[in-house]
Amino acid sequence: MSYVQEVMETVVKRNPNEPEFHQAVQEVLESLEPVLEKHPEYRTAGILERIVEPERQIIFRVPWVDDNGKVQVNRGMRIQFNSAIGPYKGGLRLHPTVYPGIIKFLGFEQIFKNSLTGLPIGGAKGGCDFDPKGKSDAEVMRFCQSFMTELYRHIGADIDVPAGDIGVGGREIGFMYGQYKRITTLYEGVLTGKGLNWGGSLARTEATGYGLVYLTDEMIKAKGKSFKDATVVISGSGNVAIYATQKVQQLGGKVVALNDSNGYIYDKDGINLDTVKRIKEVERGRIKDYVKVHPTAEYFEGTGIWKIKCDVALPCATQNELDEEDAKALVANGCFAVAEGANMPSTPEAVKVFQANKVMFAPGKAANAGGVATSALEMSQNSMRYSWTFEEVDAKLKDIMVNIYKNASAAAREYGYEDNLVVGANIAGFLKVADSMLAQGIV
């Protein structure tokens, strides 16, 4: 049995019933085969056995009282995966589907993503099975305060710095920051995605979506394509989808569809982003409300967004939202590039379809790294007690995304996988972490 197979077996055995985690590990380990062959020292030092096992997993009770006076209990967690290259860093997800298998897959991906940014941040993820939908601001605040009342003892500006993910935006970060400060008396950069008046970075809100489009632009330019006049389909309508749409529009592309977990909108004239921002960022409403304002647009209940004809597809909602059938539909409709704003949105079968049909493909850990990269820039600004302008942060973000593309492409080429950014991103992200682990001994 190969080294990779051996480690994979242990992962499945030790983490039963966690298919998303198995999927993320399988993809990374497979693409490391050529590296492991060239560098037997990684096996000798047990790098794979160690990298697939989180350094620390914290699971805790989150009790809170709803607006009817009823006691509610959720399960919170933080999985601190790897601190070889810096303090733990990664988002918090609030969604009813959260369980350790989801947080482990996200935390594992985060190790390599964070390494690709070139900045000194380790990998972690956390979250809770709390559903923010339909909750009042007061309920969200009581939940966030209770969540932080346990989490605070495990984090710190130089220990572990959480941020947003699905269901966690500026409002939630604010409530959590307030509670952290109240308990510890520390005014420090313990969370990123903070408000601009209290330590947040300009361009962090836009960063994941903008970064996704910067990297995609670089990838398609290399093959003589551009966003100018391209038709683009984007899934989701949250933070990542909104700012990806904005950047595509700035580059002259036309975004014709967006969705949420209920259904999708198709606007042949191009999405009006002001309407989407009002519905999603202000009213916290549903995407179907869009057609009330734009009656020439159409709303379709359920899935099906990938059946729309487009040149570029940017999945920005959630894991495994784009399957083999969707990938075939995109190929049949002439789509030439797919880049993942979400974490692991394409199933392994879908990725195979893209690669077999020479569709340019950028995996999430490269394409959506702009969010966490800008979080690391927020940490730097907090340490300096200084803030950069929007233009300064945006320029750094762009530079980081271009470098991620170049480094992943170069790693793919070096190991004989020209144009395979899945392999390239995994190898480039892995090497820096693995060499740091080697240098730091068996820990």
Interacting residue ranges for ligand NDP, rule: CB under 6 A: 164-167, 208, 236-241, 260-262, 316-318, 341-343, 368, 371
The one among 25, 32, 163, 422 contacting ligand 2IT by CB under 6 A: 163
371 touching ligand 2IT, by CB under 6 A = yes
80 touching ligand 2IT, by CB under 6 A = no
346 touching ligand 2IT, by CB under 6 A = no
Least Cβ distance, residue 90 to ligand 2IT (angstroms): 5
The one among 20, 165, 218, 394 contacting ligand 2IT by CB under 6 A: 165
The residue whose Cβ lies closest to ligand 2IT is 91
Least Cβ distance, residue 287 to ligand NDP (angstroms): 7
Show the site string, 301-320: x = touches ligand 2IT by CB under 6 A, - = not: --------------------
126 touching ligand 2IT, by CB under 6 A = no
What is the SS3 assignment for 46? coil
- Of these partners, ligand NDP, ligand 2IT, none, which one is at the site of residue 89 (CB under 5 to 8 Å by kind)? ligand 2IT
- CA dist 78 and 143 (Å) reads 16
Least Cβ distance, residue 375 to ligand NDP (angstroms): 8
Nearer CB in complex with ligand NDP: 375/409: 375
- Of these partners, ligand NDP, ligand 2IT, none, which one is at the site of residue 15 (CB under 5 to 8 Å by kind)? none
Least Cβ distance, residue 164 to ligand 2IT (angstroms): 6
363 touching ligand 2IT, by CB under 6 A = no
The one among 372, 404, 412, 437 contacting ligand 2IT by CB under 6 A: 372
Say how many C-beta atoms besides its own lie within 10 A of residue 146's C-beta: 23
Cβ neighbours for 357, distance < 8 A, ≥ 6 positions apart: 331
- CA dist 29 and 49 (Å) reads 11
Alpha carbon distances (Å) from 341 to 59, 193, 206, 235, 403: 28, 17, 12, 9, 17
Least Cβ distance, residue 363 to ligand NDP (angstroms): 12
Given 89, 104, 113, 125, the catalytic residue: 125
Instruction: Provide the 8-state DSSP code for 201.
Output: P
Least Cβ distance, residue 345 to ligand NDP (angstroms): 7
Q: What are phi and psi of 178, to 5 degrees?
A: -55, -45
Strands, sheet with 122-128, edge to edge from the N-terminal-most edge strand: 56-65, 71-82, 122-128, 88-94, 160-164
Q: Which two tokens stand for residue 313?
A: 């597809």
201 touching ligand 2IT, by CB under 6 A = no
- CA dist 239 and 342 (Å) reads 11
Say how many C-beta atoms besides its own lie within 10 A of residue 291's C-beta: 16
Residue 125: active-site member: yes
Question: CB under 6 A: which stretch of 280-288, 313-321, 369-377, 392-400 binds ligand 2IT?
Answer: 369-377
Least Cβ distance, residue 357 to ligand 2IT (angstroms): 28
Cβ neighbours for 382, distance < 8 A, ≥ 6 positions apart: 157, 188, 189, 199
Question: CB under 6 A: which stretch of 151-159, 352-360, 371-379, 431-439 binds ligand 2IT?
Answer: 371-379
Strands, sheet with 254-259, edge to edge from the N-terminal-most edge strand: 298-301, 263-266, 254-259, 231-234, 312-314, 337-339, 360-362
- CA dist 322 and 189 (Å) reads 36
- CA dist 56 and 354 (Å) reads 36
Q: Which residues bind ligand 2IT (CB under 6 A)?
A: 89-91, 113, 163, 165, 192, 343, 371-372, 375
Q: Which residues are catalytic?
A: 125
